[in-house]
Structure 1
Amino acid sequence: MSGAPGPTRLSKHRRLSHLSPLSRNKDFNVFWLGQALSVIGGSISLFALPLLVLDATGSLARMGLITAVAAVSAVGTGLFAGHVVDRVDRRRLMIVCDLSRALLLGAVPFLWLAGPRIWLLFLLTAVVGVLRTLFDVAYVTAVPNLVPAEDLTAANGRLMSTFAVGTLVGPVAAGAIATWVGPDWALGLDGATFLVSAASLRWVRLPPRPAPDGAGEERLPGGGARKAREMFLVGFRFLWSHELLRPLTVLLTLLTFVTIGATDLLIFRVRRDLDQSAATLGYVVAVSGLGTLVGALCAGRLRRLLGFGACWLGSVALVGLAVAGIGVSRDVPTIAALAAVFMFGLTVAGVCSMTLRQEVTPDPLLGRVTSVFWTVHNASGPVGAAVLTRLAQTHGVPAISLATGAFCLLLVCAGLFTPLRAGRTGRPKEPVTGSPGRGPAGGLPRRTRPGRRR
């Protein structure tokens, strides 16, 4: 029978017909798989870098400074990363960021052969932080161009699940590598994963961004600096005028100040106070990743059952109790379980705060409000990491962990005297106008995705 499909072609057609549209999307799947390995590599670096500083200096304060440098570079780059990404070829930018990080991190074990150079790690951390932020912003904006709108939720779900898996696998791999050949080679391995990411992006067809013609841009007088300042102020005015977002921003800024260095305290506690191996520390951090995964899965349901106020404040209470417990416990399995509770609380609180912003912010302002919210509360992180680790170096991890836990509980008590207690979202407020006759800040900017920001 001429023209009839043979058994092989027919069975192949039937197999493909059972796949979801997303599973048949070659560009997205190449992108997803390439980034999966890169996420694992990033988790390795997140663990190996402070461990390398600790092994070289034995100083908890130096670990805190490395964390502070990373946070400063991320906050600073976040102020202009969106502007850059909107004006260049995103795929090319991501490839350049990957190749640059591969070169920088891949060189660490070879440079370390001549002896530890701590100043080099500070420089590397700052540069890699800039490259990571540029890549992450381009990464978030690329996804909607790889999948149709109806597949966007499923695509983001896959990418977020990959991130959660990376937080489980990365620390275990980093701990094993650091035990066998040293944390410097763990950083070198991370560099190799960026080569894989860059190669995968070469196979992804991503529509180039058209050259900006000014359409849809904020038409504000003055140069780029004035425009950026005005856009920031519009978002800040809305944030500060909202009865829920104002206390949330203040409390989260204080929470970030005392928790951003918690990972450094955990590493020092297990590695030095309890004299455990790097491999054991890797398993402890991996168990904490389970808290991230469970928190991401449960946050929506907990929010619906308890309401925003109870859910967010309860999560902060869990964070405080977990930090205090980690500092005083000498049992490694208990510390691992408390680390998971800590990450669970941070994840649920982060998901709740992000959802609240989406609910109460008008769509034309969401990008600016999210950017201001993230910049303001994360700006306290670098100072907090440096202060927290310096105090722990002087007074010991147990004392500072107990003080941090008590401070978190004080934040909960303070929140009970704000509108967060009830947490009713209500209808979005009217946008704050930027200038007469221009509507909200002179235009309707494209809505941006919060990504993994809280």
Structure 2
Amino acid sequence: MPSDASRFPRSSPYWPVVSHPQLRRVLPGLAVSALGDGMAVVAVTWLAIQLAPHSQRGTWIALAMAAYTLPSAAGTVVFARLLRGRSGAQLAGWDAILRAGALAAIPLAHLTGVLTIWLYVFLLAASALLHSWGSAGRFTLIAELLPQRHHLPANAVLASIAGFATIVGPPLAGLLIAWIGPVWVIAIDAATFAALALTYRLALPANGGPRRSERGASRTAGFAVIRQNPALLGLLVLSLGFFFLFGPVYVAMPIHITDDLHASATLLGVYYTAFGVGGLVGGLVAGYLRGWPLRTTTIGIVVAFGITMLPLGLGAPIGVSLPAFALAGLIWAPYMSTSMALFQRSASIAQLPAVLAANGAILVLAVPLGTMLGGPLVSAIGARPTLLLCAVAIAALGLAAGGIAISRRSARSPGGPTGTEVSARR
């Protein structure tokens, strides 16, 4: 019999995803758009530095970065009645169109001489209004086109694309900013979203519009579905706590590098690059976890991530803490893929866009809120103790979630698991 190696790539869990007649047309557009967003992480802050008054640069940088993500939480509620019940391709396509248009207005305003820091932040905020719906659309599209057994590998493909973009995008942006300036890097980002919107329009069949049962639905229907489903509510709380507790790391890491290790920003970049490389590997590995129990795996990721963060908080030598941080990135990467697969299995196709948008609207606040907490926390106890506290708290969160899951499973299956429970474990 031929070995798995001889049958590669057809034996790979990713083959049904990349060979799918419709998805394979969308994936290049997603990759180009992700690269544009990876470049925008640097360009958005750099243009804010150029436009803001010198004495207020820190404030405007924070506002610009927040504007590029946080308005999606408001958009989840404001546009719920219009968008609930739409197909995944429609949601993702409209998000891409809005992103392209709002971001393209930035270089246009620059050319006409009217670009101010206020207008800049406003346009960034406008570009983000449908971001939660766009993300929900991508994962809904997977659930619409693929059978359940392929959801996790497909989610992992999206995560791997994003992970690759976070590694390649920022250094590429640095080169382009030095050559043509940050405003034109944002123009490139706008062009990538325009290409993505065109990809959705041409690669996927048009949908007939919202389902009749979804018209007039409550603006908070997605939140209601999560609230009424203990499994989804528990998963949302776990994710919220996980991301929130990681937020202070963004504040503590640079201060730990400068004050505790007496090193330069170069070392900080090395740590983040190691985390990104580990994340890329972890994203590729995630597709091979489809035979694992998803809920247990998701909780285990949280526990393992907290443990791998401990060397940083304990002041281990760089030769130990750097590989540990790379391992943390590897462990972190499959979390979104497994958690999205749980949502895809726990909600109907009709409910899924609103549920995922509601989930995204809450989670988009988690890291910024945790980062805001990081400032006073580092000031109060120091950078390294903050890293240690985050690591311990994340591991404890995962252990608590595991304990609750075990107790619920025991309470619900005194005579053995039911078919529904067996399905929920997978």
TM bin, normalised by shorter chain, reads 0.5 to 0.7
Q: Which residue of 2 aligns with 1:387?
A: 373
- With normalisation by structure 2, the TM-score equals 0.68
Q: Does 1:191 align with 2:193?
A: no
Shift, 1:140, TM fit: 5.6
User: What CA distance in whole angstroms lies between the structure 2 residues aligned with 1:318 and 1:312?
Assistant: 10
Shift, 1:170, TM fit: 1.4
Q: 1:208 to 1:82 in 2, by over 3 A?
A: farther
Q: Which residue of 1 aligns with 2:75?
A: 77
SS at match of 1:75: helix
Q: How does 1:434-449 map to 2 (within 5 A)?
A: none
Shift, 1:101, TM fit: 1.4
Q: Work out which of the residue numbers 237, 260, 264 in structure 2 matches 1:276.
A: 264
Identity %, equivalent residues: 19
Q: Which residue of 2 aligns with 1:173?
A: 172
Shift, 1:287, TM fit: 2.8
User: What CA distance in whole angstroms lies between the structure 1 residues aligned with 2:64 and 2:126?
Assistant: 12
CA contact (8 A) 2:101 2:190 kept: yes
Amino acid aligned to 1:386:
M
CA contact (8 A) 1:69 1:125 kept: yes
RMSD value, Cα: 4.9
Amino acid aligned to 2:237:
V
CA deviation profile, 1:394-428 (whole Å, cap 9, x unmatched): 65432322221222132234234312579798543
User: What CA distance in whole angstroms lies between the structure 1 residues aligned with 2:310 and 2:60?
Assistant: 22
Q: Which residue of 1 aligns with 2:4?
A: none
Amino acid aligned to 1:33:
P
Amino acid aligned to 1:342:
A
CA contact (8 A) 1:109 1:187 kept: no
User: What CA distance in whole angstroms lies between the structure 2 residues aligned with 1:260 and 1:124?
Assistant: 25
CA contact (8 A) 2:226 2:355 kept: yes
Q: Which residue of 1 aligns with 2:7?
A: none
Shift, 1:169, TM fit: 1.0
Q: Which residue of 2 aligns with 1:33?
A: 28
Q: Does 1:342 align with 2:328?
A: yes
Q: 1:72 to 1:301 in 2, by over 3 A?
A: same
CA contact (8 A) 1:38 1:190 kept: no
SS at match of 1:166: helix
Q: How does 1:150-299 map to 2 (within 5 A)?
A: 159-176=158-175, 180=178, 185-186=181-182, 188-199=184-195, 201-202=197-198, 205=202, 206-212=204-210, 215-217=212-214, 224=216, 227-230=218-221, 232-238=223-229, 242=230, 244-266=231-253, 269=256, 274=262, 276-277=264-265, 281-299=268-286
CA contact (8 A) 2:96 2:134 kept: yes
Shift, 1:237, TM fit: 1.1
CA deviation profile, 1:361-394 (whole Å, cap 9, x unmatched): 5666555554444444554444222222343356
Unaligned ranges ≥5, structure 1:
1-18, 219-223, 430-454
CA contact (8 A) 1:171 1:286 kept: no
Shift, 1:39, TM fit: 0.9
User: What CA distance in whole angstroms lies between the structure 2 residues aligned with 1:237 and 1:21?
Assistant: 32
CA contact (8 A) 2:99 2:128 kept: no
Select the structure of larger CA radius of gyration. Answer: 1
Q: Which residue of 2 aligns with 1:95?
A: 97
The count of corresponding residues between Structure 1 and Structure 2 is: 390
Shift, 1:131, TM fit: 5.2
Shift, 1:166, TM fit: 1.2
User: What CA distance in whole angstroms lies between the structure 2 residues aligned with 1:358 and 1:31?
Assistant: 20
User: What CA distance in whole angstroms lies between the structure 1 residues aligned with 2:121 and 2:254?
Assistant: 19
